[in-house]
């Protein structure tokens, strides 16, 4: 029955494809399985994908978009894994698969059959075929010790040799052309050349990733496949350096300073760099640069060997694998085609159509009765977060953050497009009624409330629902839908304040809802990429795009049970520790030292040495901007404190005695509002026992706050939990303005 359903589903989508826009993918929709990986063949004609949910490894023929074979290695592993990586030999005689545990599988690329499998020493960093394809080199590194290199026989996977090298802390590897030299490189621009026979260090190179650019650090550095070039993103510049000579080949100006995707072709002739709403192509032959707009690269991009095509591998559950022409940015093929997370839904006013917008940037118009796709509308450069029919149902308006497009709802023709910046309300804790008179308000760990929008008065409270995902009013405003994280949509009565029925949707979050105008039918969709239609009055499921994934829901729920159990154990452990820490906490003290000056936390570097500098200066109070305090740990345990910079001093295990820090403290106003003096991203720093450090507090903060406090947590090894050394709950250390002397 399942096979028949799948055939009918594919037939229905393919039959409707004739009405679709030519620029939109026409493959049957299928769910994209998250956390996958991919790999080009050497000649660029074949492509391998792995999808986690089904644990399927597939070989695709790019010419006709067909699956050559598919294989599941799960029976060998016995548990679901997050990812696989693929290594092709240059001749394409061999395909090596590595899973996240370090299991290696050598496959026959023609059939997908496993020739041999091997559980290597530990998780390998890098794996390559030797140039003559008689050996497989497996490289291990723990980032501190010397790198281990294991050579395996291609035919049976047996070990031929194992040796150490002087190379360490690397993330790139290549063979020399003759296979006699192993080349290692890391993100700092360092490269080591060692002998392939015994691992002896032959030569070391140290490059400056950002070249001669002053006061600039690299936030992304990548060597080319053969380590002939080093590419670094240095704020809004990309610096390309010849690794053999150390000379800068080119400096490219980017449109942003935060997008870091870098992709090399296998022959090192083409470089692709992500840029704002597009990418740049750098040609090493003539150093030409070309900008491609309206094509967003995801976190990883793979170019084929000659750099003519790229695979755009999206992140979690977005839009699968897109094959694009590098020179034009046009998507020419789509694999594992799927809608991506459903971000917007809408019914037409007459109820005959509904529209969906999703992360694959496609707007789809559906027949509400037959559930067939009438139009797949391509044109957005970003995910579609809003769809809405006009009052006469003649037009459909779709919006992304980059543009607004108006379509003919009946024919699918584009009427007009406006490039504009759109912003969307992501507040999932508030739901307005259709009339705008009422609102449903959900607050953290509190019952949901029905509120009069005009008077702000609470009209009714409902039973508390843990981990509420979303709230939506029904059109008649007499009911509302509530979506707890670990169950389906629940229909609640506003009058009785009780749930009536539940609509099972499987495991899905960030769900959206649209009602038919008569209010009797609704559709829903979210992270699971499914669209489901329900009868609101009976609870009957009328239709779903995909079958409900009961197995994943059960797996996720089991994982949530483990998480809840772990948190409960942590809470009980912390409560016992708090009792033990009662006397110990009295030995964590802060005392006024002197008045002076200090830099704002905005001016702090990401990493500091902790050496005393500003705290050495003493000023009269009327000329001072800060009060300097000492923070002392006289207990027998270390404590973790929050600092605005990472403190590095190799002489000490944690903070050194007498160190100077930028402490992240909390200001509490008289009405209970909290404000933090520090970044949203901060560092946990260890204050060892019998250690005193200096920190400053802005004098204006004392005047503007009712109370100021530091937070600290005792540290102790927990044999039952390797993830955390926290011993007890976070504690507060209050600072009082009354402790400050009027004069000094």
Please indicate, yes or no, whether residues 662 and 566 belong to a single structural domain of this protein.
no
Kindly report the number of other CB atoms within 10 A of residue 224's CB atom.
23
Please indicate, yes or no, whether residues 612 and 668 belong to a single structural domain of this protein.
yes
Please indicate, yes or no, whether residues 553 and 686 belong to a single structural domain of this protein.
no
Mean pLDDT across the chain, nearest whole number?
84
Predicted confidence at residue 495, as pLDDT, reads: 94
Tens of pLDDT, residues 663-679: 889 999 888 788 888 77
How are strands ordered across the β-sheet holding 181-185? 172-175, 181-185, 190-195, 201-206
In a domain, 401, yes or no: no
Judged against a pLDDT cut of 50, whether residue 258 lies above it is answered with yes
> Which residue is it, tokens 């005959």?
352
CA dist 556 → 91, 322, 508, 549, 559 (Å): 42, 28, 10, 11, 5
Please indicate, yes or no, whether residues 556 and 604 belong to a single structural domain of this protein.
no
Please indicate, yes or no, whether residues 539 and 553 belong to a single structural domain of this protein.
no
Predicted confidence at residue 22, as pLDDT, reads: 38
Predicted confidence at residue 268, as pLDDT, reads: 92
CATH assignment at residue 230? 2.130.10.10
**Number of domain units in the chain:** 4
Q: Pick the most confident of 65-69, 348-352, 610-614.
A: 348-352
Please indicate, yes or no, whether residues 585 and 526 belong to a single structural domain of this protein.
no
Kindly report the number of other CB atoms within 10 A of residue 739's CB atom.
12
Q: What is the mean pLDDT of residues 120-145?
A: 80
Please indicate, yes or no, whether residues 236 and 265 belong to a single structural domain of this protein.
yes
In a domain, 70, yes or no: no
In a domain, 457, yes or no: yes
Tens of pLDDT, residues 40-88: 888 888 888 776 656 778 888 888 778 899 888 754 434 445 556 888 9
Please indicate, yes or no, whether residues 434 and 573 belong to a single structural domain of this protein.
no
Closest CA to 300 of 280, 279, 317, 315: 315
- The maximal CA–CA distance of the chain, rounded, in angstroms, is 87
In a domain, 364, yes or no: no
Buried b (16+ CB within 10 A) or exposed e, 461-495: ebeebeebbbbbbbbeeebbbbbebebbbbbbebe
> Which residue is it, tokens 């150390």?
246
Predicted confidence at residue 744, as pLDDT, reads: 57
Predicted confidence at residue 66, as pLDDT, reads: 82
Please indicate, yes or no, whether residues 217 and 322 belong to a single structural domain of this protein.
yes
Higher pLDDT, 682 or 704: 704
Q: Which residues pair with 675 in a beta bridge?
A: 667
Least confident of 169-173, 524-528, 649-653: 169-173
Picking from 319, 337, 355, the residue at the C-terminal end of a domain is 337
Closest CA to 664 of 616, 698, 622, 700: 698
Strand ranges for 169-236 from DSSP E: 172-175, 181-185, 190-195, 201-206, 220-223, 229-234
3-class state of residue 394 by DSSP: coil
Q: Tell how strand 707-714 and strand 731-735 pair up.
A: antiparallel
Please indicate, yes or no, whether residues 586 and 732 belong to a single structural domain of this protein.
yes
Cα(410)–Cα(426) distance, integer angstroms: 30
Predicted confidence at residue 638, as pLDDT, reads: 96
In a domain, 497, yes or no: yes
Predicted confidence at residue 629, as pLDDT, reads: 95
Contacts of 672 (CB under 8 A, 6+ apart): none
Q: Pick the most confident of 111-120, 267-276, 347-356.
A: 347-356
3-class state of residue 656 by DSSP: coil
Cα(323)–Cα(336) distance, integer angstroms: 11
Q: Which domain holds residue 567?
A: 549-579
Please indicate, yes or no, whether residues 611 and 675 belong to a single structural domain of this protein.
yes
Buried b (16+ CB within 10 A) or exposed e, 439-455: bbbbeeeeebbbbeeee
Contacts of 261 (CB under 8 A, 6+ apart): 272, 273, 274, 279, 297, 298, 299, 300, 301
Least confident of 297-311, 416-430, 487-501: 297-311
Please indicate, yes or no, whether residues 609 and 631 belong to a single structural domain of this protein.
yes
3-class state of residue 577 by DSSP: helix
């Amino acid at each position: 029955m399942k096979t028949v359903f799948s055939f009918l589903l594919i037939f229905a989508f393919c039959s409707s494809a004739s009405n679709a826009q030519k620029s939109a993918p026409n493959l049957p929709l299928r769910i994209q399985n998250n956390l996958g990986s991919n790999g080009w063949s050497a000649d660029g004609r074949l492509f391998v994908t792995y999808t986690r949910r089904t644990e399927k490894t597939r070989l695709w023929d790019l010419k006709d978009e067909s699956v050559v074979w598919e294989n599941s290695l799960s029976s060998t592993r016995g548990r679901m894994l997050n990812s696989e990586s693929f290594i092709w030999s240059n001749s394409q005689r061999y395909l090596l698969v590595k899973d996240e545990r370090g299991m290696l599988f050598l496959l026959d690329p023609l059939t997908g059959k496993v020739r041999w499998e091997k559980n290597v020493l530990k998780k390998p960093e890098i794996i390559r075929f030797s140039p003559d394809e008689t050996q497989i080199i497996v490289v291990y590194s723990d980032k501190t010790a010397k790198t281990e290199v294991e050579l395996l026989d291609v035919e049976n996977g047996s070990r031929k040799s194992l040796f150490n090298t002087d190379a360490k802390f690397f993330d790139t590897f290549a063979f020399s052309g003759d296979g006699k030299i192993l080349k290692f490189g890391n993100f700092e621009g360092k490269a080591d050349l060692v002998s392939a026979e015994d691992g002896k260090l032959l030569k070391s190179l140290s490059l400056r990733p950002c070249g001669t650019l002053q006061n600039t650090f690299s936030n992304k550095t990548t060597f080319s496949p053969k380590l002939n070039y080093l590419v670094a993103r240095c704020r809004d510049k990309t610096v390309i350096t010849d690794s053999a000579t150390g000379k800068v080949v080119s400096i490219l100006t980017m449109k942003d300073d935060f997008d870091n995707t870098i992709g090399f072709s296998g022959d090192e002739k083409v470089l692709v760099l992500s840029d704002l709403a597009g990418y740049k192509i750098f040609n090493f032959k003539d150093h030409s640069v070309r900008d491609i707009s309206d094509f967003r690269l995801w976190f990883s991009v793979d170019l084929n060997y000659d750099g003519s095509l790229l695979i755009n591998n999206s992140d979690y559950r977005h839009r699968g694998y897109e094959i694009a022409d590098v020179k034009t940015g046009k998507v020419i093929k789509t694999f594992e085609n799927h809608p991506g997370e459903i971000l917007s839904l809408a019914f037409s006013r007459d109820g005959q159509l509904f529209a969906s917008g999703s992360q694959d940037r496609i707007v789809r118009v559906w027949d509400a009765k037959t559930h067939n796709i009438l139009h797949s509308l391509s044109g957005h450069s970003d995910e579609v977060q809003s769809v809405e029919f006009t009052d006469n149902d003649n037009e459909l308006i779709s919006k992304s953050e980059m543009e607004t497009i108006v379509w003919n709802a009946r024919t699918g023709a584009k009427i007009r497009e406006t490039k504009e910046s759109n912003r969307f309300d992501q507040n999932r804790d508030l739901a307005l009624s259709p009339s705008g008179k009422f609102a449903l308000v959900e607050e953290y760990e509190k019952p949901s409330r029905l509120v009069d929008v005009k008077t702000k008065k609470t009209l009714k409270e409902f039973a508390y629902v843990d981990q509420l995902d979303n709230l939506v009013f029904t059109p008649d405003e007499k009911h509302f839908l509530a979506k707890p994280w670990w169950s389906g949509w629940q229909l609640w009565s506003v009058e009785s304040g009780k749930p009536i029925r539940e609509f099972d949707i499987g495991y899905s979050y960030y769900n959206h809802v649209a009602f038919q105008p008569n209010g009797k039918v609704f559709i829903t969709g979210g992270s699971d990429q499914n669209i489901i239609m329900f009868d609101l009055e009976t609870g009957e499921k009328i239709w779903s795009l995909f079958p409900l994934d009961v197995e994943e829901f059960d797996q996720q729920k089991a994982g949530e049970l483990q998480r809840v159990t772990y948190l409960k154990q942590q809470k009980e452990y912390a409560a016992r520790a708090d009792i033990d820490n009662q006397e110990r906490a009295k030995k964590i003290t802060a005392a006024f030292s002197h008045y002076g000056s200090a830099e704002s936390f905005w001016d702090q570097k990401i990493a500091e040495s902790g050496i005393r500098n500003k705290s050495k200066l003493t000023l009269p109070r009327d000329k001072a901007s800060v009060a300097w305090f000492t923070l002392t740990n006289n207990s027998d345990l270390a404590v973790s404190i929050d600092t605005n910079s990472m403190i590095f001093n190799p002489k000490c295990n944690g903070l050194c005695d007498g160190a100077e820090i930028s402490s992240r403290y909390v200001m509490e106003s008289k009405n209970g509002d909290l404000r933090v003096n520090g970044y949203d991203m901060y560092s946990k720093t260890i204050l060892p026992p019998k250690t005193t450090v200096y920190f400053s507090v802005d004098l204006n903060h004392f005047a503007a706050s009712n109370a100021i406090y530091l937070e600290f947590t005792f540290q102790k090894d927990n044999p039952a939990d390797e993830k955390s050394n926290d011993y007890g709950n976070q504690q507060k250390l209050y600072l009082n303005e009354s402790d400050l002397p009027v004069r000094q």
